[in-house]
Structure 1
Amino acid sequence: MRLALAVALELMATVASAQVWRSDRGDGTFRNPVLFADYPDPDIIRVGSDYYFATTTFANTPGITILHSRDLVNWTLASHLVDRLEGKPEYDLKGGNAYRHGLYASSLRYHAGTYYLANTPVGQKTRIWYAKDVRGPWRFHELEREAFDPGLFIEPDGRAYLTTASTADGTITLLTLDKDLAHVTASQKVHYIKGAEGSKIIRRGAYYYMFNALPPRLALSVSRSRSLFGPWETRDQIDDKTGGHQGALVDLPDGRWFGFVMEDSGAIGRMTNLSPVFWQDDWPVWGMREAPGRVPRRAAKPIPGGAFTEPATSDDFGKRTLGLQWQWNHNPEPSRWSLTERPGWLRLKPTVATGFWSARNTLVQKGQGPASRGEVKLDIRHLAAGDRCGFGTFGQFSGNITVQGAPGGKATLAMEVTEDTVDGARTEVRATAPLAKADALWLRTDMDFTTDLARVAYSVDGRRWTGLGGEFPLAFAWRTGTFQGEQLALFCYAPTESRGWLDIDRFTLSALPPAKPERVR
């Protein structure tokens, strides 16, 4: 009996500490995706022996995440571009929300000791950000126009250009920038590809290569020319059935090339795949020579050796600043959260909102696949009557357990599912449960991206768990929801001003056995 108990406890500890997804197989190979989470619109560059990866964040803040790697397979979070979004009251959840807006596809480049990042906030003019250190501080020049999904290219002599194309038009325009990358000095239409957007330009030998996403077909094309101004000739590359539809190439120090591309992957969002690339008649070919035109499910690591690393997830809130894995659903109210009022705990004070979808200071991080469990320990003693605080998912469907404060220090648990639709957000209360007086409460959220289903549970001792409300769906939709994969969310709001608060001791992410086997391309 003791042996069985010891084995069970060891197994539980192993599961709790297991990595959710390991691309690096530890035998000199890797498997796709390199990150089993929503890192859309990738742009990857090499600076010496370091690789940097910029990815879209929409209305989340801090905005635009930048990751770092030494081998293109093992990534860590390096920085964010901006602390908050500017230019619209909706970024503060005033007069409406900014979900599906904010900061879209960026283009990251490095030249002569400076990092540059081109980005066009939705509905605003294009900005060229620059910094000596990828961790910032970043400053920017705002151009005279709005260039959709700008692709930055800088010649060795410093001449700089932006490409821009919109799916609605397909015309690819080349903008010439001045020496400070602060103004557009010329504009010329140089190519046309039906449905093109997300242009990226690289140079190899005598040719320039321009990669374009083709969202209507979920495909990627490549064009080549001996001049940036054309003429360009175009070929199809790959699509979501064979690897992905938006990306480009990055070179290795030894002259080899690898491709990176995002793939629409259901509720988890858009995941990044990595592929060896070989050249045939000065055209890039994705995949391996024995299996061309297809991103491999598994391949040799681009750069062998090196230890396994991954973006941070679990957090004991022991630092004075939030970990880079966390973002707010919009610009937060700084006075309504703290890591210092109770050291070692995250304190959330209720923001005023009519519901979950319109509440500020919802703290999120990416859902992880193929299946994972998020667990939090809460101190709920200081909730006031009317406070609604809890933990769950955040996206097209937001399912959570809400702790509802009541007079006399009592509380009730409610399992709620909020769905965002074209007509607005709708909330369904699936189940409720009375909560006996307790100082601490544990909540957990399980997400399985092989079935696109989730469930939530609670515990008053951290050991015995009670499910509430049954399974609910996970989904991704660009017309509604957040335009992101489903995220994990901590929240605290109230219908009127509140003097209560919620303290969060720790957040833990662990792997779960997926309900379905790993897909094979």
Structure 2
Amino acid sequence: MRIGAFLLAASVAGAAPTQVWRSDQGDGTFRNPVLYADYPDPDIIRVGGDYYFATTTFVNVPGITILHSKDLVNWQLYAHVVGRLEGSEHYDLKGGSAYRKGLYAASLRHYRGMFYIVVTPVGLKTRVYYARDPRGPWKYHQLDREAFDPGFFIDDDGTGYIATSATSDGTITLLTLDKNFSAVTASRKIHYIKGAEGSKIIKRDGWYYIFNAIPPRLGLTVSRARSLFGPWETRNQIDDKTGGHQGALVDLPDGRWFGFVMADSGSIGRMTNLSPVSWQDDWPVWGTAESPGRVPDRAPKPIAGFAFAEPATSDTFARPTLGLQWQWNHNPDNSRWSLRARPGYLRLRPTVAPDFWSARNSLTQKAQGPKSRAVVKLDITHVRPGDRCGFGTLGQYSATIAASRAATGEPYLAMSVIESTEAGPKIDVRVAHQAIAGSRLWIGVDTDFTSDRAVLSYSVDGRHWQALGGSFPLAFAWRTGTFQGEQYALSCYNPRPSAGYLDVDSFTLAALP
């Protein structure tokens, strides 16, 4: 990656945002992925002419993101389901962290005017959330057991079922629920597929279909039967080489079907692909007629006539609430941030922490690919000695430029990279002390997901830029990292209590040339 690419001749913070990735090609076709960002474990349903997409959020708060679309291609952020993570003080970053835990693999359904989300928070029992409107308020019933990767299905007679299986076993168990979907009334093992998880059930023309991810080989299977209780027959579908390994199908109003599936995609995370699906002898076939058996790179849009739309990114913090693109890393301390203390700014007060990896109130949003530039404009007037307040990335490699002050009051910058390892966070301090002048500061990060490299840079006038600390790697790691693609992150912490604070004026995201 060319470090010089970041040294801008004009103020990026004042430039109009441009699209980083556009799936809708404007000519009646779309290209995959539909979102070039980490939206893992997709579950998509249709309600009339609207499509809703639930996706995993792990320890990000608020949790379980729902997106909305009219054509399956152009998506916008719509809601979050869970306001706070429960079950461990680690979710408050007390006594340790909870990376790779939290909320994942939620199952979304709609029945008789009610939306349902079934999810199993790590370490807790399965919950059935329900709401008339995806924007809430959401309530939930808690079941009497943990159902791993629950796949919720409501049959024609209104009976609710949850299919669950875990890679370590592969036995698919079907739980029958009571009429309120509030309790398990029966449990029965119905099928076995080595390595199966992520079950999703649909019904078509009298056939039941279960789609299962097979993580050991990054593949997707489909099983069919005339009864939910079997007997089932199973066929392989696609895999990460041909499109993805976890997903299912959604129907269109005219009777056609499309498949959605996620694929491991390097440091950006796990991205969602979309594919036409045809039927041969009542078996689904992914892909186009010209190239069956694989998710196409490009294909006709499922539904024509709808304009381009995308999830929100750039922000001036002018609203009284945070935009849906923002999530906290673990549960926030709400006494340490504000949008009202200085209208038009986000104020972050330092939380007490030894390093960025364990600091509360880091505010994140998903990085965008294939190449993007994110810039924040900051007011560091009230940053105090010992504070570490700045911007960068959060992931397997977390890199930050942070502003602080010397004991004599002069502001300076420090650039550091934290690598998450099995032995704990490994800190590489690239620049220990870079003196600057003034109270205005711009920090930017160039992320190139085609080369898995990034560069941090800063400016004190919004026009002249200086790269700091050299390039650093981008990576995705489910064992030691966050189990998410790289994220952008605003942070402010201090090893000791501090009366300082950081004011964030704006965040701007644009495509990187």
TM-score tier after normalising by the smaller chain length: over 0.9
Cα distance in 2, alignment partners of residues 16 and 422 from structure 1: 42
- CA shift for structure 1 position 12: 8.0
Q: Which residue of 2 aligns with 1:245?
A: 245
Matching of residue 264 in structure 1 with residue 288 in structure 2: no
Report the equivalent of 1:501: 501
**CA 1:181/1:13 → structure 2, altered by over 3 Å: closer, same or farther?**
closer
% identical aligned pairs: 69
Match of 1:480 in 2: 480
Output aligned runs, 1:49-448, within 5 Å: 49-448=49-448
2:13–2:377 CA contact under 8 A, matched in 1:
no
Moved more, 40-49 or 151-160: 151-160
- Alpha-carbon distance in structure 2 between the residues aligned to 1:14 and 1:445: 16
Deviations 1:318-347 (A, max 9, x none): 001000000000000000000000000000
**Normalised TM-score (structure 1):** 0.95
Residue 15 of structure 1 deviates from its aligned partner by 8.1
SS of 1:438's partner is: coil
| Partner SS for 1:211 | strand
Q: Equivalent residue of 2:267, what SS?
A: helix
Asked whether the 8 Å contact 2:104–2:120 carries over to 1, the reply is yes
- Partner Cα distance (2:460, 2:253) in 1: 54
Inter-CA distance 511–201: structure 2 relative to 1 (3 Å threshold): same
Q: For residues 41-100 of structure 1, give each alpha carbon's deviation from its aligned partner in whole angstroms, at most 9, with x where no partner exists.
A: 000000000000000000110000000000000000000001111121111011110100
Tell me how far apart the structure 2 counterparts of residues 76 and 434 of structure 1 sit (CA, whole Å): 40
- Return the alpha-carbon distance in structure 2 between the equivalents of residues 278 and 14 of structure 1: 47
What is the rounded CA distance, in whole Å, between the counterparts of 2:281 and 2:405 in structure 1? Answer: 68
Deviation at 1:158, TM superposition (A): 1.2
1:380-421 per-position Cα deviation (integer Å, ceiling 9, x unaligned): 010111101110010000011111222232122111000110
The equivalent residue for 1:4 is none
**Equivalent position of 1:5 in the other structure:** none
Q: Which structure would you say has the larger RCO, counting Cα contacts within 8 Å and 6 or more residues apart?
A: 2
Measured against aligned partners, the alpha-carbon deviations of 1:201-235 in whole angstroms (never above 9, x if no partner) come to 00000100000000000000000000000000000
**Contact 1:15–1:511 (CA<8 Å) still a contact in 2?**
no
**2:317 touches 2:345 (CA, 8 Å); kept in 1?**
yes
Tell me how far apart the structure 2 counterparts of residues 295 and 10 of structure 1 sit (CA, whole Å): 41
Residues 286-329 of structure 1 show CA distances to partners (whole Å, capped at 9, x for unaligned) of: 00122100000000000011110000000000001000000000
Does the 8 Å CA contact 1:67/1:79 hold for their aligned counterparts?
Answer: yes
Cα deviations by residue, 1:488-520 (Å, 9 ceiling, x for unpaired): 00000001110000000000000012xxxxxxx
How far residue 14 of structure 1 moved from its aligned partner, in angstroms, is 12
Match of 1:25 in 2: 25
3-state SS of the aligned residue for 1:409? Answer: coil
Deviation at 1:11, TM superposition (A): 12
Quote the Cα distance in structure 2 between the aligned partners of 1:232 and 1:69.
33
Q: Work out the CA distance in 2 between the residues paired with 1:422 and 1:164.
A: 29
Provide the residue aligned with 2:3 in structure 1.
none
Q: CA deviation at 1:435?
A: 2.6
Cα shift at 1:17 = 2.7
Whether the aligned pair in 2 keeps the contact of 1:16 and 1:511 (CA below 8 Å) is no
More moved, 59-68 vs 425-434: 425-434
Would you say the 8 A contact 1:391–1:401 is kept in 2?
yes
Contact 1:15 1:512 in 2 (8 A): no
Distance 1:410 1:59 in 2: 36
Per-residue deviation, residues 455-505 of structure 1 (Å, max 9, x unmatched): 000000000000001110000010011000000000000011100000000
Structure 2 counterpart of 1:171, which letter?
T
Contact (CA 8 Å) 1:268, 1:485: kept in 2 or not? yes
Is this contact kept in 2: 1:320–1:340, CA < 8 A? Answer: yes
Change (3 A) 1:294 1:172: same
Tell me if the contact between 2:51 and 2:68 (Cα under 8 Å) persists in the aligned partners: yes
The aligned amino acid for 2:280 is: Q
1:495 corresponds to which letter in structure 2? P
Structure 1 gap ranges (5+): 1-7, 514-521
Q: Secondary structure at the match of 1:292?
A: coil
8 Å CA contact 1:388, 1:405 repeated in 2: no
CA RMSD of aligned residues (A): 1.5
> For each residue in 1:119-166, what CA deviation from the matched residue of structure 2 results, as whole angstroms up to 9, or x when unmatched?
000111000000000110000000000000000000122100000000
Is the contact made by 2:75 and 2:309 (CA closer than 8 Å) also made in structure 1? yes
Check whether the contact 2:415–2:469 (CA below 8 A) recurs between aligned residues.
yes
Q: For 1:501 and 1:486, how far apart are their aligned partners in 2?
A: 26
Within 5 Å, give how 1:447-486 maps onto structure 2: 447-486=447-486
Task: Answer yes or no: is the 8 Å Cα contact 1:177–1:186 preserved in 2.
Answer: yes
Contact 2:396 2:474 in 1 (8 A): yes
Q: Residue 91 of structure 1 aligns to a residue in which SS? A: helix
The Cα of 1:442 is off from its aligned counterpart by: 0.6
- SS of 2:61 mapped into structure 1: coil
Q: Deviations over 1:3-34 (max 9, x none)?
A: xxxxx999989985320000000000000000
Any idea what SS the aligned residue of 1:19 has?
coil
Separation in 2, partners of 1:221, 1:435: 57
Matches of 2:196 and 2:16, distance apart in 1 = 44
CA contact 2:108–2:116 (8 Å) conserved in 1: yes
CA distance in structure 2 between the aligned counterparts of 1:87 and 1:436, rounded to whole angstroms: 44
1:516 maps to which residue?
none
Please tell me whether the aligned partners of residues 318 and 344 of structure 2 are also in contact (alpha carbons under 8 angstroms).
Answer: yes
TM-superposed CA distance for 1:436, in Å, is 3.2
Q: Secondary structure at the match of 2:477?
A: coil
